[in-house]
Amino acid sequence: MTEFEGKTVLSLHVNGNFHEVLVRPSDILLDVLREQLGLTGAKAGCKNGDCGACTVMVDGWPAKSCLMLAVEAQGKKITTVEGLGGKAAVQNAFVEANAFQCGYCTSGFLMVCHALLTQHPVMPDEIVVEEWLQSNLCRCTSYQEIREAVHLMYDAVQDADV
């Protein structure tokens, strides 16, 4: 059994490295990533799980880091947008498709798309894409551009495989 009371030092595995952080058990992962690790790519849009701007990847699945306690992240592999390193297919796809304007929701969308690619290496039905991407909100684009980016991401991955 694990029990944390009061401020505790945790070791979190983020973007391939272990980081020690000092957290309260009630601290959410988003705040710890941003304020202690300086990983400000994940954004706070509502802190209520509704907008998806804080989405990161946890063990290969998308997770809203505002609705996860930092203590729960121990022992898990966290990937943030910074962990994509500018090399992920999804990043180029978003640039190509002009899939953002203000950029605030972008990290969250990128991480959902990246997780989608992780779980579905071959492009799934459009309905699955929609279901995954409905977890996030964008106020600037028409969404068509983001959809297009998902297609470009899969195209690029396929081309690379060939």
Partner 1 sequence: MIPFDFVYCRPDTLREAADAFKRYQGKNKKAVCYGGGSEIITMCRAGSIHPDAVVDIKGIPECGILEKDDCFLTIGAACTLSRITESKLFPLLGLACGRVADHTNQCRITLGGNLCGTVIYRETSLPLLLSDAEVTVGGPDGMRRVPFQNIFDGRVRLREGEWIVQAHIPVWALQARHAHIKKTAQEKIDYPLVNVTAIWKEDVLRAAFSGICSRPFRSRRVEAVLNDRGLPPEIRAEKAAGLLPEPPYHDVEGSGEYRAFVFKNTLCELLEAWQNDRV
Partner 2 sequence: MVMAIGKSIQRKDAWEKVTGLARYTDDFPVTGLLCARLLTSPYGHARILKIDTARALAVKGVKSILTGGDFQELHGPLLLDRPALARNVVRYAGEPVALVVAQEESIAAKAVRLIEVEYEPLPVLLTPSASLSPGAVLIHEKVTGYKRLLTDIYPEEGTNIASRYRIQKGSAGQALKKCDYIVQKQFSLPASDHLAMEVRTARAQISADGKVQITTSSQSPYAVRRQISDAFMIPAGQIQVTVPFIGGGFGGKSAVMLEILAYLASKSVGGKAVRLIVTREQDMAALPSRIGLEADITLGADRDGNIQAAQMTFRLDCGAYADISPYMAKAIAVDCTGPYHMEHVLCDSLCVYTNHTYATAYRSFSHESCTFCVERAIDLLAKRCGQDPLEFRFRNAIREGSTTPTQVPYTESLIGDLRKCLGRARRLSQWDAGAGTPIKENTVKAKGIACFWKTENPPTDAVSGAAVTFNTDGSVNLVTGVVEMGSNGQTHLAQILAEKLGIPCEKVHVVLSVDTRAAPEHWKTVASLTEYMAGKAVLRAADDLLQQLRSNGSQAFGCPVSDIEVSHGRVYSIRNPERFIEFKDIAQGYQAPDGTSIGEPVLGRGGMMLKGLSMLDPKTGKGKTGPAWTLGAQVVEVEADIRSFSYRILSALTVIDVGRVINPESMRSMVAGGMAMGMSMASREFVSFSSRGVPQAPNLRTYKLMHLGQEPDYRVDFVETPQDDSPYGMRSYAEHGIIAIPAALANALANAFGIEEVTLPLTPENIWKASQKEKP
Per CB under 8 A, residues contacting partner 1 are 1-6, 24-28, 31, 47-49, 52, 55, 61-64, 66-69, 71-72, 112, 131-132, 134-136
* 25 binding partner (options partner 2, partner 1, none; Cβ < 5 to 8 Å by kind): partner 1
Closest CB to partner 2 among residues 2, 86: 86
Between 70 and 149, name the residue whose CB sits nearer to partner 1. Answer: 70
Decide whether 61 or 95 has the Cβ nearer to partner 2: 95
Smallest distance, partner 2 to C-beta of residue 1, A: 27
Is the Cβ of residue 49 or residue 103 nearer to partner 1 in the bound state? 49
Q: Give the CA distances from residue 25 to residues 6, 62, 115, in Å, rounded to whole numbers and listed in that order.
A: 7, 22, 27
For the chain, the residue count is 162
To partner 1, the closest distance from the beta carbon of 25 in angstroms equals 4
- Which residue has 């304020």 as its token pair? 35
Helix pair 89-96, 106-119: axis angle to 10 deg: 130
Q: What is the 3-state secondary structure (H, E, C) of 30-91?
A: HHHHHHHCCCCCCCCCCCCCCCCCCEEEECCEEEEHHHCEHHHHCCCEEECHHHHCCCCHHH
> Nearest distance from residue 154's CB to partner 2, in Å?
16
Residue 27 or 82 with smaller CB distance to partner 1: 27
- Angstrom CA distances, 13 to 19, 90, 111, 149, 150, stand at 6, 22, 17, 29, 27
Interacting residues with partner 2 (CB under 8 A): 24, 34-35, 38-48, 50-51, 53, 80-82, 84-86, 91, 94-95, 98, 100-107, 110, 130-131, 133-134, 136-147
Please report how many Cα atoms fall inside a 13 Å half-sphere around the Cα of residue 46, on the Cβ side. 15
